[in-house]
Structure 1
Amino acid sequence: MAASPEEKARRVRRMFSEIAPRYDLLNRLLSFGADLRWRRRAVELALEKAPRRILDLATGTGDLALLLKARAGEAEVVGADFAPPMLEIARRKARDLGLPVTFLEADALALPFPEGAFDAVTVAFGFRNFADYRKALAELFRVLSPGGRLVILEFPPPPGGAFGLVYRVYFQRVLPFLGGLISGNFGAYRYLPESVEAFPRPEALKAMMEEAGFSVRYELLTFGVAAVHVGDKP
């Protein structure tokens, strides 16, 4: 029996809270550093329209929010997440780097911001964890100003072909073992490939974003291991 949206949200919040201390290390190791390139591309796309106020949702330990602030120092950047231990690490990183980013706890399905509050919203590797994709997109559309931009960086289901076969073996067997061994939470790193396999393919996510009112394009990164979707609000 599938978990309810509320049960999924509770499980994901608890899981990410538990792995917070090893989260950054594992991101670098398990992606062979590629996640940094992917995040930089998402930042480039988010900043194309020179936004003044930016929300990084599902900010985790703040990597993308801090990259945004480093690249666009004049912009106000807010990082939001529903796992307090992740936010504690993000705040510490911001202090160490001397970057004034506001980090706060928030639910993606009921954001505590007024309509049109942000010129850009980014979500890096967190969208698939939302309990209701369509409701989340409606919220993101609401908090964006007219002409604002949404950038979603995410893992689509593994690609086909020979590369996809090798990647799937790594993703489904090697990664969960290494992630569990290093983090001490095998369940969290079994959840990762399961959630990716269940996530909409790029064309399906594009259609979902268009239904929410966005004008959408996307790019596949590293042979389709990751994808970045860009949605512009009219």
Structure 2
Amino acid sequence: MTKIITPYRQSDAGKKQQVAAMFNNISAKYDFLNHFLSFGIDKIWRRRAILSLKNLQPARILDVATGTGDFALESIKRLQPSRVIGIDISEGMLAIAREKIERNNLTETFSVELGDSENLEFDENSFDAVTVAFGVRNFENLNEGLTNIHRVLRPGGQAVVLEFSNPKKFPIKQLYSFYSKYILPAIGRLFSKDNRAYTYLPESIAQFPDGEKFADCLKDAGFRKAECKPQTFGICTIYIATK
């Protein structure tokens, strides 16, 4: 059985509750740190992931673990869907997403609400596409979350997952390991004031079943096809699964 990695080791709370608390703690600095710590490459990853849905032309999109809404906003910009719903377990992150929605005059197109992947309160076959950016690592029950995502997708619909992965080749593997273990946590602590959030990040990446292993997880959840597209030397991967 795979060990469950949680943000706060001394806490008795479940992973879901700890993750929600962690993102509430770092929500004010989340966007800045995302772009800063990835040298802005995360914006390219998001764009590529969303553009993988271009041929599908989804009208209704569900963005799971929407956070501050950047992935959903990218889908609106690139795909022009009629409706996007974002869900997240962190109210702190959603508050920032709502500010972006208001600022961009998108209240008719994009809305966000508290929710999590394991308890999606939507009917079967409700969405043309489901997107998740840097969120599946935080699912308390990965199979249950993916099964729920599969359930709410229409037949022929697609799930696009963007997630960190572990580089396999020298010297990127060694450089990435050093950066994620020492540099990233130090900068994260400096700006976010949360001593564990950016230590949890590399721990959760190391434990995550990336690459073909995650593609197999998607198939186990019911998807008939799943492909993975590594990005930037394998630091990140785009997964595309079809129902």
Q: TM-score range by the shorter chain?
A: over 0.9
Aligned to 1:192: 201
**1:26–1:179 contact (8 Å) kept in structure 2:** yes
Aligned to 1:176: 185
Of 209, 229, 233, the residue aligned with 2:239 is 229
Aligned to 1:218: 228
TM-score by length of 1: 0.95
Rounded to whole Å, the distance in 2 between the matches of 1:38 and 1:69 is 16
Aligned to 2:217: 208
**1:19–1:185 contact (8 Å) kept in structure 2:** yes
* Gaps in structure 1 of 5+ consecutive residues: none
- Structure 2: which amino acid aligns with 1:125? F
SS of aligned partner of 1:109: helix
Aligned to 1:109: 118
Rounded to whole Å, the distance in 2 between the matches of 1:21 and 1:93 is 13
Aligned to 1:162: 171
- Following TM superposition, by how much is the alpha carbon of 1:46 offset from its aligned partner in structure 2, in angstroms? 2.7
Q: Deviations over 1:1-41 (max 9, x none)?
A: x5699711111110011100000000010000000000001
TM-score by length of 2: 0.92
Q: Deviations over 1:32-55 (max 9, x none)?
A: 000000000111013330111000
Q: How does 1:31-180 map to 2 (within 5 A)?
A: 31-100=38-107, 101-180=110-189
Percent identity at matched positions? Answer: 41
Rounded to whole Å, the distance in 2 between the matches of 1:122 and 1:47 is 13
Q: Deviations over 1:92-127 (max 9, x none)?
A: 011112223111111210101111110000000001
Residues 208 and 3 of structure 1, relative CA distance in 2, 3 Å threshold: closer
Rounded to whole Å, the distance in 1 between the matches of 2:56 and 2:5 is 38
**2:5–2:207 contact (8 Å) kept in structure 1:** no
Please tell me whether residue 18 in structure 1 is matched to residue 25 in structure 2: yes
SS of aligned partner of 2:52: helix
| Range that drifts further, 219-228 or 151-160 | 151-160
- Structure 1: which amino acid aligns with 2:40? G
- Structure 2: which amino acid aligns with 1:131? E
- Structure 1: which amino acid aligns with 2:242? D
| Range that drifts further, 198-207 or 98-107 | 98-107
- Structure 1: which amino acid aligns with 2:130? V
- Structure 2: which amino acid aligns with 1:223? F
Q: Deviations over 1:59-108 (max 9, x none)?
A: 00000111111223342111110101100100101111222311111121
**1:158–1:197 contact (8 Å) kept in structure 2:** no
**1:157–1:198 contact (8 Å) kept in structure 2:** no
Rounded to whole Å, the distance in 2 between the matches of 1:99 and 1:71 is 14
Rounded to whole Å, the distance in 2 between the matches of 1:199 and 1:74 is 31
* Gaps in structure 2 of 5+ consecutive residues: 7-12
Cα RMSD between the aligned structures? Answer: 1.6
SS of aligned partner of 2:73: helix
Rounded to whole Å, the distance in 1 between the matches of 2:90 and 2:161 is 19
